[in-house]
């Protein structure tokens, strides 16, 4: 009888240990709420022109705590319930490169209050704007009578306006460059030279483009003695469809602390393997604070 009781106690003990171990290995899972963001919209003042953007990510904060950066569209788990403050920053691919994502420093954030419910999805539709202190020294949308870009002395072709429907990104006009073996070098610069921050503050060049060959974007750093130095900052790959890129200009510009001002340039050369090439541009916008 004692042996039977002993065995019963042993069995009860083993079952207790087994189920306790299961609870340790598989603890009760926390059921999250979900936040859904499909897109982030850019709203701009009418005098600025295009609201074209390429916002690819949402940088999400709940009650001022960073949750993370999420590629759009996104459905993300949030481990809270009830009403909480949600703050969204718009993220981009800096220089069009997926490995250099970041919150765009010139777009403000979107704040809202969300009532989170466990195992339920709440969708929000963030809208961002440029910060009011943002400066646009160059904003060429090709809709005015003139063009704010002129060819350099070594260029044998120029940028012109086109209103051909199949060439226009938006509005009435876009910029066009056509290269042939007889005119195979294109290089244009901003008509105006700009005084730009040299303290490492963000400076970006935004543009829409559709090009059959790569092109270079850079600066002419101008000095008091009348000389200038040319510096290529980034080479943009060709794109068969209209694309948008945000080019980080700050590092290149900061290399010239003694320059008094800068011209922005865009240039390319027709490859010897091609008989012609067309480049289309729109909404060329230099941005800084």
Q: What is the pLDDT of residue 30?
A: 84
The Cα-based distances of 115 to 34, 80, 141 in angstroms read 11, 9, 41
Q: How far apart are CA 75 and CA 235, in angstroms?
A: 34
Beta strand pairing call for 121-123 and 33-37:
parallel
Mean per-residue pLDDT, 58-80: 97
Q: How far apart are CA 102 and CA 73, in angstroms?
A: 16
Asked whether the beta carbons of 101 and 90 are under 8 A apart, the reply is: no
Q: What is the pLDDT of residue 5?
A: 42
pLDDT band per the 50, 70, 90 thresholds, residue 27:
low
Q: What is the pLDDT of residue 200?
A: 81
Mean per-residue pLDDT, 168-191: 98
Token pair listed for 83? 């009403």
Q: How far apart are CA 242 and CA 268, in angstroms?
A: 18
Q: How far apart are the first and last CA of the chain?
A: 88
Q: Is 175 a residue whose pLDDT tops 70? A: yes
Tell me the per-residue pLDDT of 213-256, one tens digit each, with 9 for 90 and over: 999 999 999 999 999 999 999 999 999 999 999 999 999 999 99
Q: What is the pLDDT of residue 71?
A: 98
Residues forming CATH 2.60.40 domain(s) in the chain: 33-128
Strand partners, 266: 188, 217
Residues forming CATH 2.60.120.260 domain(s) in the chain: 135-288
pLDDT band per the 50, 70, 90 thresholds, residue 10:
very low
The architecture that CATH gives domain 33-128 is: Sandwich (2.60)
What value does the mean pLDDT of the chain take? 92
pLDDT band per the 50, 70, 90 thresholds, residue 28:
low
Point out the least confidently predicted range of 7-16, 104-113, 159-168, 256-265: 7-16
> Residue 231: left if φ>0, alpha if ψ -120 to 50, beta else—which one?
beta
- CATH number of this structure's domain 135-288, picked from the four choices 3.40.1190.20, 2.60.40.1840, 2.60.120.260, 3.30.1360.30: 2.60.120.260
Cβ neighbours around 254 below 10 Å, total? 15
Tell me the per-residue pLDDT of 140-174, one tens digit each, with 9 for 90 and over: 999 999 999 999 999 999 999 999 999 999 999 99
Q: What is the pLDDT of residue 272?
A: 96
Q: Is 18 a residue whose pLDDT tops 70? A: no
Residues listed for the chain? 289
Q: What is the pLDDT of residue 90?
A: 99
């Amino acid at each position: 009888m004692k042996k039977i009781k002993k065995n019963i106690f042993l069995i009860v003990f083993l079952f207790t240990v087994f189920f306790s171990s299961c609870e340790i290995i598989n603890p009760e899972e926390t059921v999250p709420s979900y936040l859904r963001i499909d897109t982030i919209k850019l709203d701009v003042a009418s005098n600025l022109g295009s609201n074209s953007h390429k916002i690819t990510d949402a940088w999400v904060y709940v009650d001022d705590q960073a949750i993370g950066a999420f590629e759009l569209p996104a459905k993300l788990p949030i481990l809270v319930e009830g009403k909480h403050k949600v703050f969204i920053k718009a993220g981009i691919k800096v220089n069009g490169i997926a490995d250099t994502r970041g919150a765009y420093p010139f777009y403000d954030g979107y704040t809202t209050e969300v009532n989170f419910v466990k195992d339920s999805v709440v969708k929000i539709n963030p809208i961002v704007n440029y910060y009011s202190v943002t400066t646009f020294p160059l904003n060429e949308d090709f809709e005015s009578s003139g063009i704010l870009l002129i060819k350099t002395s070594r260029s044998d072709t120029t940028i012109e306006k086109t209103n051909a429907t199949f060439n226009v990104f938006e509005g009435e006009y876009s910029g066009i460059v056509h290269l042939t073996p007889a005119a195979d070098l294109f290089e244009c610069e901003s008509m105006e030279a700009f005084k730009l921050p040299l303290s490492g503050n963000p400076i970006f060049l935004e543009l829409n483009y559709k090009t059959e060959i790569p092109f270079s974007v850079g600066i002419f750093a101008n000095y008091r003695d009348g000389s200038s130095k040319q510096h290529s900052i980034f080479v943009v790959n060709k794109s068969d469809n209209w694309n948008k890129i945000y080019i980080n200009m700050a590092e290149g510009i900061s290399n010239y602390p003694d320059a008094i001002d800068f011209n922005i340039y865009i240039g390319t050369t027709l490859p010897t393997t091609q008989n012609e090439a067309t480049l289309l541009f729109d909404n060329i916008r230099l941005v800084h604070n």
